Each structure stands twice: as structure tokens, then as C-alpha cells.
Structure 1
């Protein structure tokens, strides 16, 4: 028993012993010790996440700043100007406010690069929060950014209204009156006088050059940019462009409203006298008609002042007074027949100087304007885009005389009143006046259509320019006031749009001009259509479809304006269907529903003065250039 009791006996524990053996509350102590590294880990995560968010926002603000700065600059100077820098910094500030996420004051510095782009650097101090307790200093975040305008391979066709009203100022004042000048091809041209300063056409010249500068500043050495021009008024001057592709695209003969000399038997008498001699035997009195010259005429002078005359004598004998012989002397001139007639154009279409079949001692040379090809769907107001008539189909190749183009020749054309044909000896030896005053076709018979160059009924604008890579001096020379880019003529929007589309179409007669460069994508294609007025047609004008009063090629009646409008809108649609972006600028006039309909959606602009025109062209140029972040 005793032995057993002794084995169960224990020594009493001490205070330290009791503490060592008591495990209650150990977890709390361990958590207290672990709290310090845990706070460090959590604080590091929170501050790191905050640093990430701040840096993302800082990068976004930097990108916004350089985008705004690059969009603002249009010059190629060595540095950003005050306006460009201010624009860039304002956009940065709009996207990163000082104190955001408890940051310090942010700095942003934009600069222009050597290749005319905009780069920038931005930085901001970020104070630590929890990690500050562990001695972590503030961190300064820095980012870099760069924006550039990139221009892919691009074809730009300017379709420019050069009608008579372009000589006035945007408010319609100034300018007016016609003057003669020597055209670039040596022929005589007539233009509307420009206002002494600030004419609309002078504003166009300046806006085109600024447009070129903006696109040029946005491109690099690998970019291909081609420009083309189609000035228009009552017609378009595309003869040289057609010939340079294929002369067979022009007809060798065409029917004109012209005139021809009638046989000598139809001579017109303009003076006569008679002389009688008595006591003349009948056999001694010559019989028959004697004409000097026997055929043809004695011609003096040339051109509009030429006289073509002959002398015709008729003798008669009577038995009175032992035989009287009477000699009737008549001064005669040519009698002309005014009609529709086919004339040879095989030499005319080559811009050769040829003999004028409608005048004596006169030559003519084609200025380059054309009459449109057919068939035309005369009288149509709506068109099937899958089956367009020949004039509206930009892709149709010329394969027959109907589908070939015709030289416009007002120099060989004449009014014949309201008749199918008309004959007249006229009021002078030339049988046609070089001026005009009558107001209706019925009283205008015998007048020379080319005389209407002194009005807006006849006009041949500057020769169109096929797409090509042009430097600034080329563009400046083309739009120069010393050349043929001068105001004159009525307004035919369809003439300009038809040929702007045709010369830019990737599948038509001019497709080689707009083809992609080797191993590159197809170019982006644009039409910049500028006009200062609504359609203004006249059925007596010699326009893209001839003289509608006589030819009735599109309307089938005298009033043809609505038919031209329908063709204009149909061709706008044809352009857009071929992937061409159409910009429309209304200069000094209301942006009509028709013009808005023509434009690619959202790309119609109204400009009421020269500054607004330049701004519109700049807007278009910057859209053509593609603004993007490059780093």
C-alpha cells in the first residue's frame, strides 16, 4: 500500500511552471506578432494597385495630350507654337486633374519630333499611404507617348466649281464682266472678271494649297498620294486626258448644229445694176449667165470678218429701139444652210489646227471640252445603279461611236432658230454676226454659237488633271491665277461629278491611274466637291450634252434642269458605291438637301467666307490623314 502511494505522489508546480504549461491566449499573442508583416503586405498591395491605376490614367492623359497637339499643328516648323502646346496641355489636364488619387502636381511636356509628329512625357509624384509607416518614400511615375498623323496610300480628286459667280466675293459682291485672254493651248479664252480682292476662286486657290500642306505634313516618305483636278462649269475639259489614255476613245465624226454653203445657184444678191444699149443685133447680145469667178468666191479678210463675193451678169435683148441689149450686173454672196450635219473630227480631236468648214479663210482648234457619250436614257429621272446609262457609268469602256466621247465645238455651231433647217444669205458677207443680242432661239437664227463665249452660255474651263503624284509647285502651278483656272459659265454639277467619279473609279477607262502600288493595299479614294451655287442650266447653253433646245439628249424637252439634278445625284451614288468618300463643300451658299444627299453621310460642309472655306478644307485633310497613337 505504502509503495503504491509513493508512486502516485507529485511535486507541487512553481509559478513559472504553471505559466509554461498554460496554453490559453497563445493565438492572440501570435496574431499580434504577425500583424506587422501582414500590414506591410496589405499596404504594399494597396499602394501598388494605386500606383498602377495612377499610371494608367497618366498614360491616357499623355496620349490625349499628344493627340490634341498633333491634330492642332499644320505647319512644319521646328517646334510647337504656343497654340499647339496649349491645346496639348489642356487635353492632358482635362484627363488628369492635380490631386487625383492624392497625387501631387503632374507635369506634361509635349515636343515636335524631327518627322513632324508630337511626342510627350508626363510625370506625377505619388505619396505612399500605408507603406509610409514602413519608411517607403514617395514614388514619381513617368510615362512617354507619341501621336502621329498617318496617311495611307491615297487618291484625292478635287472637283471644283469654276463658274462665273466664282469671280465675286463670298457675299456676292464684286467681279463681273467678260475679258479675253490667251489660253494655255494658245486659243482665245473668255473669263469673268474677278473681284479686285477676296474673290471666291482666289480663296479656293489658297485653300487647295493649304490642304496639300496639311496632308503632306501628315505623310512619310513611304506614303503615295495622288492628286487630280476636274474644274467644271457648263462642261468639262477632258479632251487631253482622254487622248492621253487612248485617242480612239474619241469619235472621228459627230453631228453638230452647224451650217454649210449652198451651191452657187443659191447665191444671195446684195447689190445690182443694169445697163441698156440700143441698136444692137440680137446675135451680138451675149446670152446666158456669166459669173466671176465661175465657181467659188473672191474672198477677202478672214474668220468672222471674211467677205466672200462674186459678180453675176445676165443679158437680155428686145426688138425695141432697133434692138436693145440689157446687161444686169448682180453682186452676190454665199447663201448658208443651217442644219444638223456630221462633221469630220478625226483631226480636230488631236488638237490640230484645221480649216473651218463653216467660214472662209478661217481655222479652228479644239479647246478640249466634250459632249457626253450615249446611250443616255433621254427623259429619265431615276436610274438603276446596276444598269446605268453610258454617261453615268464610270466603268463602261468605249467600244463604239455611241459610247465614245465627242469634241464640243461651239466654233462650228450656229443657231438656226426654231426650225429643223434654215437658209439665209445673212446681213453681211459672212452671213453671221460675231456678236449677239436676241433673247430667244426663234429670233437668233444665223448667229454663231462661239460668240456666246462672251456670256456664260458657252465656256470651256481649265483642262482636267489626271491622278498623279504632285509636289507643291505642281499644285500651285495648276491653281495659279495666271493659268486657265478662271471663272466663267453656268453651273452644271453633273458635269463635274460624272468626270470626278470616272477619273477615280478603280474599274473604268482611267483605272491605271488609281491602281495600287506594287505589294501595297488599294489606295483610299476621295472626291472633294466644291461649289458656290445650285444647278443653273439653260436649254440654249452649249453644255455637256450639246444644245438641249436642239439635241434633247437628256430631257426630251426644253426645260432640262431637273434632269441634270437627277443625273448629278445618280453619279454621287455611283461614286459612293465604288468605295469613294465624297466630301461636299458649299461655299457662299446654303448647304442644300441635294448637296447633303450627294455627300458621304456627315461629310457636307458649309463655308460662308474664305476663312471658313479654308477651315473646311483643313477638316477634310485631317480626316484623310489618320491620327493615331504610335507609342
Structure 2
């Protein structure tokens, strides 16, 4: 019995030694595994920090619009150098290599280096390799068709504190946008321009098109026969008093403007022989007046004014006599010629050819923006609508500096006239027409940007905000400088770069 107890005790001592050895080995393994985990955690943190810096480098290079790889590499390297404190601990010494390639509108930046280990060095692994890649896509891979619907009303002649008119600021902003969107002439980008005010000028070269009704073109109308004779004597003013200043106000495209007028009163009148005594009061009965079409068109009748459906239902041309030419700058259909577009923007005018300040009818500009982008008549330069607005990507930019000041009034079954109004109900109808056309355009997947310049009317800004495709596509510019910034932001959005890897 005693021998058995001694044997058991000796066995327990032997087991304790073995357990200690096994425990020591297990503890070492556990420590190494924990150390390896620490090294791996450091590697993942380093990779994340490096990826962030490299993403910024790729985006910076892509956003520059450079196309030469060496120039792109310089930009990427400068970004890495400026942000290296954020990734310095990721590399040994810190040694790393950066490589950039550019193809198919993609900027690819690859960085290789190594993360020094702490515990894995016990196993002979001194560094863990780190390879990071960032790819930035330049712009959109698909084609772009862009139309600029631009306010050419009388209020665009207002000057800011620096002496620059609104129309001058718009021309500069629009030209900058076009240049940035189509920086390379060979880029698959087409741009159209729709200047608008009371009506839109579709271009006299379109005379004879099936979508245009010019039934009164070049009509000659005899003047009415005179029925009276001019008097033998006329009263004329022979003396005037001194000039004095009169303060007045007038309506300018929906805005009240104060101005002064110099006047003087007649203080003495005399009767004198009339050199035209006995002649007809209505002029020569043989006189005829020539009526012609200068390019402007009315709205279509009924709901057709709100869409581009039924394109062969014609627009009626506005017929004017040769003393009342009433049209402004012509539409430029989609064009891949940058110089043509820039010339049209530079040539925009803000006065009627017959004189006076044109008023605002935004629906007229909008529907012709849709017509320019649409693949069907009246203009056919646009390609077919692509799925999800890709290939091509169709974009409309609407700019205005004023509230609507006109309303649509159908004239029988021939044409829709635009008349000046201050009636709240009629102006609401015009705003509703803007909304309806915007909704139609968006139903065709057209992207819409809207820009308001100096508009304080809540209903108008709400209308324009709702017209935009999304919240950040609406810009409320308070002055000319902000207008330029808005167009620059639109250009950046159209040419946006994005990380794809």
C-alpha cells in the first residue's frame, strides 16, 4: 500500500514538470499570435491611411484636366508629399514608390512600400508588403449633350457695384462653363444655346420647315385710304421755360426702377402756315407695308406648349412689319464646334430690335431647351435618349434674373401669344407652366440645373428649386460674382471625377 502511494506521488511530480513545459510553450505561442495580431492591426491602419492619401492624389490629378502622364504624376506626387505625415508610419525609412498611368479617362496611381513589424521579426519577417491602388474616373465615360437656356431680358442690363452688367457677367460665366465642359475640341460634347425673353428666335434659316407655320410671310398690305385733309395752320411752340428735374418710376421686366427726367414747359405758342395743308392725313394711298418673319415664334396651342410631343403640330411664326423687327439672338442647336457656341454667347443682346426692354416668359425658353435636346423635330441634332440618361447624358441649365412677367393667351387655334400681366392668377399659371415643362423634361431623364440671379420673390425661387433635378442643382446667386461661381460649380459637376477603385 505504501509503495503504491510513493509511485503515485512520483507520477504527479513528473506530470507537473511536463505541464509546466507545455504551459510555457502555449504561452509563447499565445504571445506570438498576439504580437502577430498587433503587427497585422498596424498594417491595416497603415493601409487605410495610405489609401486615403492616394485617393486624394488620384482625384487631384484627374480634376486637373491634364492629359500628359508626367504632368499628372507631378500633381499626384505633390499631393502625396503634402500629405505624407498622414502615411509616413506606413513605410520603412519611409521608402515607397509611386506610379501613375492615364488611359480611357482614368487616372491610376499605385504605391508600394512596406510596414515594419515588431513581433513578426522574431519569425524572420521584418516588413509586411503594402501595395495600394487608387483609380479616379475623369468626367463621364458617356457623351454629353448640354443646352444653356439663358435670360436675355431687359433687366439683365442692370449693373452691379463694380459697373458690370448682368448680361456681361452671364456671358463670361456661360463661356467659362462651355470651355471647361469642352476643354478638348475632340471631346464627345455638344452644346446648344437658347437665349430667351418674351419669345425665342428659332432662326430664319428654318423658313420652310414642316414644324413652322408662316402663312403671312412677306405679305404686303395696302394702307387705308385717307379720309381727311391736314389743316391750313398749325400751332407751334416758340419759347420755352428753364429745364427742371422730374422724378419718375417705371416697370422694367417686372421690377420698379426710379429715374429722373429733364423737362421744360412751353411758355409761348404761335399759329403758322402748315406746309402740308390740304394733303391727306393718312399719307399716300399707294403706300404698302411689308410684313415679314424675323425668326420668333409663338407658343403652341393648349397642352402642346408644355412638351415636345406631336412635333409636326407647327409653331406659328410672329409676323412683324419692317418697322417693328421684334426678335433677339437666334438659338444655336447642339454643336460640337466650341467656337460657334462661344460666338453665340458673346453675341447675345438684351433689347428688342424694335427697341424697348423685353420682358420675361420662362416657359418659352424651357420648351425650346427641351426641343434642342430632343432627338426629334424641330431640331434633330440630339441623339436618341439613352437608358438612365447615359450615352448620351442630356443636361439643361436654366438661368434667369427675374420673375415671370407675362402669361400665355391662346389666339383661337393658330398660336399662343405671350402678354404682359401683373395679375397673380395669370402669373401663377405661368409658373405652373414652368413646373410642368421641367417635370416633362425630367420624365425624359434630362438633368436640370437652375440658376437664379438676384431674385427675392419666394414663389419664383421655390419654382426654380423644384425645377432642378436635385437640391444641389439649384443655385441662388445674389450678385454677378456668385453667378460666375454657380456656373463654375455646374461645370465641375458635369466634369465630376469619382473614385472607381
Q: TM-score, normalised by structure 2?
A: 0.69
1:66-465 counterparts in 2 under 5 A? 66-71=58-63, 73=64, 79=71, 96=86, 119-122=108-111, 126-134=115-123, 136-139=125-128, 141-151=130-140, 152-170=142-160, 198-217=164-183, 224-240=188-204, 242-243=206-207, 247-253=209-215, 260-262=222-224, 267-270=227-230, 331-332=279-280, 360=287, 363=290, 365-374=292-301, 376=302, 389-398=303-312, 403-411=313-321, 450=324, 459-465=326-332
User: Residue 408 of structure 1: SS of its match in structure 2?
Assistant: strand
User: Residue 329 of structure 2: SS of its match in structure 1?
Assistant: coil
1:39-58 counterparts in 2 under 5 A? 40=32, 43-44=35-36, 46-48=38-40, 50-58=42-50
> Quick check: 2:145–2:189 contact (8 Å CA) kept in 1?
yes
Which residue of the partner structure matches residue 487 of structure 1?
A: 350
User: Residue 482 of structure 2: SS of its match in structure 1?
Assistant: helix
In structure 2, distance between residues paired with 1:203 and 1:74: 25
Quote how far apart the aligned CAs of 1:114 are: 8.4
Structure 1 residues 167 and 242: CA distance shift in structure 2, 3 A: same
Task: Extract unaligned runs of 5+ from structure 1.
Answer: 1-17, 175-197, 273-328, 337-357, 377-388, 413-447, 454-458
> Quick check: 1:554–1:563 contact (8 Å CA) kept in 2?
no
Deviations 1:460-483 (A, max 9, x none): 221101123x23322222222xx3
Quote how far apart the aligned CAs of 1:528 are: 0.3
Q: How many residues align?
A: 430
> Quick check: 1:230–1:496 contact (8 Å CA) kept in 2?
yes
> Who wins on radius of gyration, i.e. which is larger?
1
Which residue of the partner structure matches residue 374 of structure 2?
A: 505
Give RMSD over aligned pairs. Answer: 4.6
User: Residue 199 of structure 2: SS of its match in structure 1?
Assistant: coil
Structure 1 residues 113 and 168: CA distance shift in structure 2, 3 A: farther
Structure 1 residues 493 and 621: CA distance shift in structure 2, 3 A: same
Quote how far apart the aligned CAs of 1:158 are: 0.4
> Quick check: 2:228–2:282 contact (8 Å CA) kept in 1?
yes
In structure 1, distance between residues paired with 2:380 and 2:394: 12
> Quick check: 1:69–1:85 contact (8 Å CA) kept in 2?
no
In structure 2, distance between residues paired with 1:588 and 1:87: 38
Quote how far apart the aligned CAs of 1:368 are: 0.5
Task: Extract unaligned runs of 5+ from structure 2.
Answer: 1-9, 233-276, 352-357
Could you say which structure has the higher helix fraction?
A: 2
Which residue of the partner structure matches residue 535 of structure 1?
A: 404
Which residue of the partner structure matches residue 455 of structure 2?
A: 589
Structure 1 residues 26 and 50: CA distance shift in structure 2, 3 A: same
Which residue of the partner structure matches residue 446 of structure 2?
A: 580
User: Residue 367 of structure 1: SS of its match in structure 2?
Assistant: strand
In structure 1, distance between residues paired with 2:280 and 2:77: 83
> Quick check: 1:120–1:146 contact (8 Å CA) kept in 2?
yes
> Quick check: 1:110–1:118 contact (8 Å CA) kept in 2?
no
In structure 2, distance between residues paired with 1:29 and 1:50: 32
> Quick check: 2:156–2:166 contact (8 Å CA) kept in 1?
yes
